[in-house]
Structure 1
Amino acid sequence: MAFTPREDIEVAKAAVCEEAADLFTADAREVITRAAAAYLGPRKLTAIELLYSPRHQSDLMNSGTSAMQAVQKAASWQVRGMSVPVSERIRRLWDILDQGKAAMAEEVAAVEPEPMTPETAGALLARRDQEGDSAYIFRILCSTAAGLAEKKTWADKIDTLVKSAASATTPEALGCMDRFLGELLRPVDVLKDIIGEQPNAGEQIACLLALVTETARPTDAPPKAVLAVPFYKLMTRAPMPDSRATLAGHIVRLVAGPDKMTSKALSDEILFVVELRETLTLKGELIGGEVTQGALERRLARALSDQTIDLLMQGTRSAGERVMRAISLHTKVFGDAARAYLEQYIADLMGQPQIETKLVPEDLSVRQQIKAMGALHRALKNSQLGERPKGRMTRQVEQAQTALLDRSRLLEKLNDGTGSAAERLLRVVDLCREGAFTEGENADRARAAAQQLMKRPDFLDSYLDGAEQKGERASRLRDLQRKLAEARIV
């Protein structure tokens, strides 16, 4: 299920009503919710309750300027970018509203809907003799609105609705419940009664996503949330598309909000945001579409900045380790701003004066320094950086390793070093197998040194020393052949 938020004007233009029946569409209800928010919100009312209750309609019309302000807002949104005067659209909306109000009063009087309560739901949800689908749905919607009329809080309304829905067994009945519930779930305050108090936005999203994707079970209901158990049971047994779409809207709101996703360190927060995009992608569509994508990109851009980069690099002991961590992040993050920041950060690190002396921690042995430079070289080579900066930086590492090999004479000492010829060979073979030497001149130099060592007259005897049986000697030679092949020495 993908849910894409829309701006006021976009919604209003999708709901240009031309007759009273148009007021009852989902888009029109959303326009009413937005345009009349100042009236509906404080009274804990929804657009669907207003539409199916003549009493609520009369109260709004008699409330002073509330109705006029709502009509003016809706009209101004609908004519934006058009040559139609706002005043003309206002007059047309008033005509439609007057017609709808009069027609609704007559229809409700004819139906005489009994208020829907958990106690009366079973009888009211049963079809009357010769009652068609449209008549049945209209009666249930009116009864539901009447049953919620005396409830003063969102929690009370949802509680009444969810308990009444327990008696709904047909798609038509559940569809009516879903229409109301989808709108009752819009207020932010409702969430704590549904999913409880969660420690952070990420935990809230996890709970909501399970409900949206129909993977939540009744046993997952937070025990301390007032409405959780009956709500989870209802969402488990029925499709409830409107309700799930509203919950998806809350996910988008949380992603776009300022609250942290986790209670963990900044590096974990970044990884959570990176993984969240995949988590929120359902059947190839990201919940919230471009709105969610933009919000996630902004989160990463805020997390990756001059003010936060030192926190992300805690524990690194050299410029090379910081480059590798930045490359690792670069392969995971998305968004032009975050990726550009890391690219510039890596370029700045590698552009420091005498960078060749800062690539690896000073307290490492020569062998460890060579391995660290090899790992840095591979990370740069396999990175998603541009080809030109990548080529420049890999050459810097190659040159630094060449200088280290020259300075330490590690390879030259193989012939006269301590230990047996076999032990000395295996040390350099293992370095080659691990990719410790940068490909090109340095790797060729190491392989040449190994081949030279293998030509020593005492090499084979030292390698086979202690292997008395013919089979054991053959096994050692096969093992050596395998290692030499992996190291690309032979």
Structure 2
Amino acid sequence: MTSQTPSPRRNLEPLCASAADLYTTAAREQIGRVLEAWLAANQATPFELLHRPDLIRKLEVSSRDLQHAFQKVAVPLALARGASVHEVIRGLHTVADQAIARILRDEKQGLLVTVDLSSFAGACAAAETDFGYRLAAGVAAYMAAAEAWEDKVERLLDLVVAAPADGPARTFALGILEPALEDLCGSQPGLAQLIGAELEMGCFLLALVRLAYGGTIDAIIAVHPTLQKLVAPLPAPGARLARHFEKGDFNRLRLVISRRVLAELATPRRLHPGSAVGEIAAVRGLAVAMTAASGPLLPPEDVAEAILRRSERLVEPNFVNTLLHEQNGLVAGLDALMTVLESVTGEANRRRALRFVEAAILAPQFKPDLLNAAGGAIGALQVLARTHRRLTRAGAGVVGMQDLLDGIGQTGGAIDLEGGVIADLAGGVTAKPKRLAALQAMADGETAPPGPAARHAADALRKLGVSGDQVEG
């Protein structure tokens, strides 16, 4: 399910000292929180409420909703400022009354701009920049004609296309439209039209990254196919907005989206509830996507910190226990632990992940359990060889890694000797080329871990009169 975690910009300082302050991003976010239910019931955003006289009058009639909104804002502000709640509410009323009086007066005097697709560019060129809220009222009215959230999003994106092509007039137009888009992205039904509905947290965040950095993410998916399972194609409206982002439009909104992704990652919420394997996949997918998209709007150091914090949760004992309980047998469990090691960042997290792998491999019952789970000595040697290769790549530089690699080699040697694997291959009745190829694969560490077993295979090859690194035939 999608998330509506408050923006990291939220604070307890006074947001509004004058009517103009109500139109800022921070103030609109606050309005969206305290009037969330009312706005949802009226299928509107804070941007629309601030610019539509009909909605303003409707809210004034619903005095209880308005009073509750003032109280939600006033109580924390009063505590932060050491003032009385009544004093803060009086100040908020003053600011709200000023804004309401201004827009209702301008409506009565016919000063609010009326726009449609054919007139929007001209209206932007003719508008006085000091009275941009009048043009914004026209945008809000144009959005109001929509019968559903999908239509509201499409109508707003149509205005983006209808905006002036370049110059100061285009800058002015996009400055009017960007707050409207911000509030659509801040509302759950509006955002669902852009990225899809009912997404698990990991897919939700990946969809946000794709929305803001579509071209980059599409390129990554092309060379990283596993991401295709996590990052669904954007709905048509989202793809339209993503193309505008690619052109360099609405960078402030891209920044808002980027901050939201980082803020969500900082929460304790699971990315894939109900599946530890899915949780790891989501962390890995976000790490790849966000690293590729990092830049001025998504700082690399912030991305690294966010993934580091998520990595800490992947090496918590409770999570690892849940992960192992999801696996079917020892081999699958060992592979899952290796995936944790391959996925986490930060030296401390990598050390903890390695300790879990070490505890599994060095347990007294590991060898007999492995032989049983792998279907015999040959299968067990193959599992150990695969684990050795993965450890060599993922555990590079982690303290204790070499000792663990040596331990895997010793276990492989014991399994070989006890099972007579290499001796049977060397003296078997199978066609010689096949026996030599099997021994070479073991000597090369492909089907037996480096160590005693691999050396035994190399010795057997020499006794059979084979030299060189490869066996042909």
* TM-score normalised by length of structure 2: 0.69
Instruction: Describe the SS at the equivalent of 1:178.
Output: helix
1:168, CA displacement in angstroms?
1.4
Tell me the amino acid that sits aligned with residue 144 of structure 1: V
1:73, CA displacement in angstroms?
1.8
Work out which of the residue numbers 130, 133, 142 in structure 1 matches 2:129: 133
What residue is the counterpart of 1:357 in the other structure? 368
Q: Aligned ranges for residues 242-253 of structure 1 at < 5 Å?
A: 244=254
1:85, CA displacement in angstroms?
3.5
What residue is the counterpart of 1:278 in the other structure? 288
Residues 424, 201 of structure 1: CA spacing in aligned structure 2 closer, same or farther, 3 A cutoff? closer
Tell me the amino acid that sits aligned with residue 42 of structure 1: A
Q: Distance in 1 between matches of 2:29 and 2:191?
A: 20
Tell me the amino acid that sits aligned with residue 87 of structure 1: H
Q: Distance in 2 between matches of 1:134 and 1:96?
A: 19
Tell me the amino acid that sits aligned with residue 90 of structure 1: I
Q: Aligned ranges for residues 150-229 of structure 1 at < 5 Å?
A: 153-169=148-164, 170-194=170-194, 208-215=208-215
What residue is the counterpart of 2:45 in the other structure? 46
Larger helix percent? 2
Residues 14, 280 of structure 1: CA spacing in aligned structure 2 closer, same or farther, 3 A cutoff? farther
Q: Distance in 1 between matches of 2:26 and 2:33?
A: 11
Contact 1:377 1:394 (C-alpha < 8 Å) held by counterparts: yes
Residues 153, 445 of structure 1: CA spacing in aligned structure 2 closer, same or farther, 3 A cutoff? closer
Residues 77, 271 of structure 1: CA spacing in aligned structure 2 closer, same or farther, 3 A cutoff? same
Q: Distance in 1 between matches of 2:184 and 2:433?
A: 77
1:397, CA displacement in angstroms?
3.6
What residue is the counterpart of 1:87 in the other structure? 86
Contact 1:12 1:31 (C-alpha < 8 Å) held by counterparts: no
Q: Distance in 2 between matches of 1:436 and 1:185?
A: 52
Tell me the amino acid that sits aligned with residue 77 of structure 2: Q
1:416, CA displacement in angstroms?
7.9
1:64, CA displacement in angstroms?
1.9
Structure 1 residue runs of 5 or longer lacking an equivalent are 464-479, 485-490
1:180, CA displacement in angstroms?
1.8
1:243, CA displacement in angstroms?
5.2
Residues 105, 343 of structure 1: CA spacing in aligned structure 2 closer, same or farther, 3 A cutoff? same
Q: Aligned ranges for residues 239-318 of structure 1 at < 5 Å?
A: 239-241=249-251, 244=254, 260=272, 267=277, 270-281=280-291, 282-283=293-294, 285=298, 304-312=319-327, 314=328
Question: Are 2:316 and 1:326 equivalent residues in the alignment?
Answer: no
Question: Are 2:71 and 1:72 equivalent residues in the alignment?
Answer: yes
Contact 1:320 1:376 (C-alpha < 8 Å) held by counterparts: no
Contact 2:70 2:89 (C-alpha < 8 Å) held by counterparts: yes
1:167-199 deviations in whole A, cap 9, x for unaligned? 211221232122223213433223454456688
1:438-469 deviations in whole A, cap 9, x for unaligned? 65666666666666x38xxxx5xxx7xxxxxx
What residue is the counterpart of 1:470 in the other structure? none
1:123, CA displacement in angstroms?
4.9
Contact 1:359 1:373 (C-alpha < 8 Å) held by counterparts: no
Contact 2:51 2:137 (C-alpha < 8 Å) held by counterparts: yes
* TM-score normalised by length of structure 1: 0.67
What residue is the counterpart of 1:145 in the other structure? 140
Structure 2 residue runs of 5 or longer lacking an equivalent are 165-169, 219-231
Contact 2:386 2:446 (C-alpha < 8 Å) held by counterparts: yes
Instruction: Describe the SS at the equivalent of 1:65.
Output: helix
Residues 57, 392 of structure 1: CA spacing in aligned structure 2 closer, same or farther, 3 A cutoff? same
- Larger gyration radius, structure 1 or structure 2: 1
How many residues of Structure 1 are paired with residues of Structure 2 in the alignment? 443
What residue is the counterpart of 2:221 in the other structure? none
Contact 2:200 2:272 (C-alpha < 8 Å) held by counterparts: yes
What residue is the counterpart of 2:12 in the other structure? 13
Contact 2:47 2:183 (C-alpha < 8 Å) held by counterparts: yes
1:306, CA displacement in angstroms?
4.0
1:239, CA displacement in angstroms?
1.2
Instruction: Describe the SS at the equivalent of 1:140.
Output: helix
What residue is the counterpart of 2:224 in the other structure? none
Tell me the amino acid that sits aligned with residue 140 of structure 1: L
Q: Aligned ranges for residues 31-42 of structure 1 at < 5 Å?
A: 31-42=30-41
Percent identity over the alignment is 19
Contact 1:401 1:442 (C-alpha < 8 Å) held by counterparts: yes
What residue is the counterpart of 1:400 in the other structure? 411
Q: Distance in 1 between matches of 2:271 and 2:368?
A: 41
Q: Distance in 1 between matches of 2:248 and 2:433?
A: 72
1:407, CA displacement in angstroms?
4.0
Residues 294, 449 of structure 1: CA spacing in aligned structure 2 closer, same or farther, 3 A cutoff? closer
Instruction: Describe the SS at the equivalent of 2:288.
Output: helix
Residues 320, 343 of structure 1: CA spacing in aligned structure 2 closer, same or farther, 3 A cutoff? same
Residues 250, 126 of structure 1: CA spacing in aligned structure 2 closer, same or farther, 3 A cutoff? same
